[in-house]
Amino acid sequence: MSGKLHDLAFEALPEGLLAVDGDGRVQTVNAAAAAMLGVVPERLMGHRLFDVVGALPAFTRLVELVETGLKASAVIELAGGRRILAMIRSFGGGKPGRSGGTLVVLHDLEVLDHERERAAHGGRSSFKLVSQRHAKPDLERQRRISPYLNHLVTLGERAMKQGARVLLLGESGAGKTEIARYLHSYVSQPAAAFIHVNCGSIPDTLFESEMFGYERGAFTGALSGGKKGLIEAADGGTLFLDEVGEIPLAMQAKLLKFLETGTVQKVGGSAEKAVRVRVLAATNRMLEDMVKDGLFRRDLYYRLAVVPLKVRSLADTPELIDDLIDYFITAQNQRRERPLTLTPDCRSRLAAYSFPGNIRELQNIIQQVSVVAAEVADASHLPEAVLMEASHGNVGVMDDGDLKSQVRAYERRLIDAAIGKLGSKRKAAEALGVDIGTIVRKTQAKH
């Protein structure tokens, strides 16, 4: 095969391929690998893999395996649920840890699942068309369904295009991360990095070194080559500061300096490096109240909240529930031998539920239903919380009986539901705020 043809074939492969020499420097990489790692090929070629992606939590395990030079495999879980299978193979002789080089093969598991399904159906494309329709929660489709969401996303797009920082406000699980990813993709090149930082998951003592990086010898246990911080890893892309209200007060001043100057200074270093990063932030806390209480810097708040956008809860956007149900069912069906469908009654009960856990709870419910139901899920397969709320919310009017008898019947349904969920009359009494004698008396009374 000629060199030119070899290069064309190498770039055409859907699998990601990169070769790393004994010093950990990338010598060969194709476009698929660069895209999966979230960087452009030029950022990888000739550079140590650790320096480029080592600061990203999702790729820490990959870098560790490459540096050992041992034969290994690992599944990398990326934000948003995407999974990458990494296969590590050494070549060129040498002993473990000192091999001539390492070959890394990256497979997008979603693509593999699609191809496997197509093969099982004789290569027909019907499954492919369905999976493309619901490959991910489609904000383009959802904003056509919901005028509120369309207005919110339009403001976000306008802000991002003008370089204004957006602060997403809303309950946990309401979809703030998905909106942040959408806004990033709206203004960024496909290969631009999207660094999702959960500020609440980083210990206070490590926050500065994780965000800003450190120089070699900065502290005991520091890597010999130092480490790039998450802000620098987002250079040319988007830094998403999730749960921004959890940032330690002592670190807020340094973050403010970065936002004002566009430069970072590593721990143990004196040089400042300019980075070009778009910053998005999100929180489920009342930052204005935290400012009043002295828990969040006022100047930092105004730097982050140039355009504050309130993301509504799922209960306040019922027009999206049916579309999200379809998406999560499609995702589950990719893991099932036979497709799952919901009865109309099952769907209507879900549509009437308040979803205190928002979109994340809906996803959890569909996963539960997929496990307990064979092919068709009805209301009996729904969690008790959904059924209890439906029974509480649908009092109805009896065909006969006065007001007093209807109230007694409704009380009995509430009590029976509480006992069924909690397992005892005493726990039911505590939950309903009455004494145990009241529960015993009302359960013994005739209907």
DSSP 79: G
User: Is the Cα dihedral 56, 58, 64, 67 positive or negative?
Assistant: negative
Instruction: Give the CA angle between residues 220, 226, 228 to the nearest 5°.
Output: 125
- Sequential DSSP letters for 179-191: HHHHHHHHHS-TT
What are 287-309's pLDDT values in tens digits?
Answer: 999 999 999 999 999 999 999 99
pLDDT level of residue 67 (50, 70, 90 thresholds): confident
Query: By mean pLDDT, which of 128-132, 172-176, 413-417 is the weakest?
Result: 128-132
Q: Give the integer Cα–Cα distance in Å for 166 and 185.
A: 14
Query: By mean pLDDT, which of 90-99, 153-162, 180-189 is the weakest?
Result: 90-99
Torsion of CA 419, 423, 424, 428, to 10 degrees: -40
More confident residue, 321 or 413: 321
pLDDT at 146: 87
Domain ranges of the chain: 3-111, 139-312, 316-375, 395-444
pLDDT at 297: 96
pLDDT at 8: 64
What are 400-439's pLDDT values in tens digits?
Answer: 556 667 677 767 777 877 776 677 788 778 778 788 878 8
Torsion of CA 430, 434, 435, 439, to 10 degrees: -90
Spatial CB neighbours of 348, under 8 Å, sequence gap ≥ 6: none
Is 316-375 assigned to CATH 1.10.357.10?
no
Give the whole-number percent of the chain exceeding pLDDT 90. Answer: 27
Q: Give the integer Cα–Cα distance in Å for 382 and 204.
A: 40
Average pLDDT over residues 36-53: 82
pLDDT at 259: 95
Say if residue 23's pLDDT is above 70.
yes
pLDDT at 414: 76
pLDDT at 424: 76
pLDDT at 133: 33
Say if residue 79's pLDDT is above 60.
no
Query: Which among 328, 331, 325, 366 has a CA at the least distance from the CA of 110?
Result: 331
Task: Give the other-Cβ count within 10 Å of 34's Cβ.
Answer: 22
**Token match 């950022």: residue?**
43
Is 139-312 assigned to CATH 3.40.50.300?
yes
- Report, at the CATH architecture level, how domain 3-111 is classified: 2-Layer Sandwich (3.30)
Say if residue 127's pLDDT is above 60.
no
Torsional class of 423: left (φ above 0), alpha (ψ -120 to 50), beta (otherwise): left
pLDDT at 131: 31
Query: Which among 264, 279, 256 has a CA at the least distance from the CA of 232?
Result: 264
**Type of residue at 182:** Y
Q: What burial class does residue 442 get, using C-beta atoms within 10 Å of its C-beta: 0-12 exposed, 13-18 middle, 19+ buried?
A: middle
**Type of residue at 25:** R
Helix (H, G, I), strand (E, B) or coil at 440: helix
Q: Check if the beta carbon of residue 218 is closer than 8 Å to that of residue 226.
A: yes
Q: 3-state DSSP helix/strand/coil percent for the chain, to nearest 5? A: 50, 15, 30
User: What rounded mean pLDDT belongs to the chain?
Assistant: 80
Say if residue 350's pLDDT is above 80.
yes
- Sequential DSSP letters for 138-153: -HHHHHHH-HHHHHHH
User: Strand 238-242 vs strand 278-283: parallel, antiparallel, or unpaired?
Assistant: parallel
Give the whole-number percent of the chain exceeding pLDDT 70. Answer: 79
More confident residue, 399 or 267: 267
Say if residue 17's pLDDT is above 80.
yes
pLDDT at 392: 53
Q: How much is the pTM?
A: 0.59
Say if residue 135's pLDDT is above 50.
no
Say if residue 399's pLDDT is above 50.
no
Say if residue 397's pLDDT is above 50.
no
Task: Give the other-Cβ count within 10 Å of 89's Cβ.
Answer: 15
More confident residue, 400 or 357: 357
Q: Give the integer Cα–Cα distance in Å for 381 and 349.
A: 11
Say if residue 342's pLDDT is above 50.
yes
Say if residue 190's pLDDT is above 70.
yes
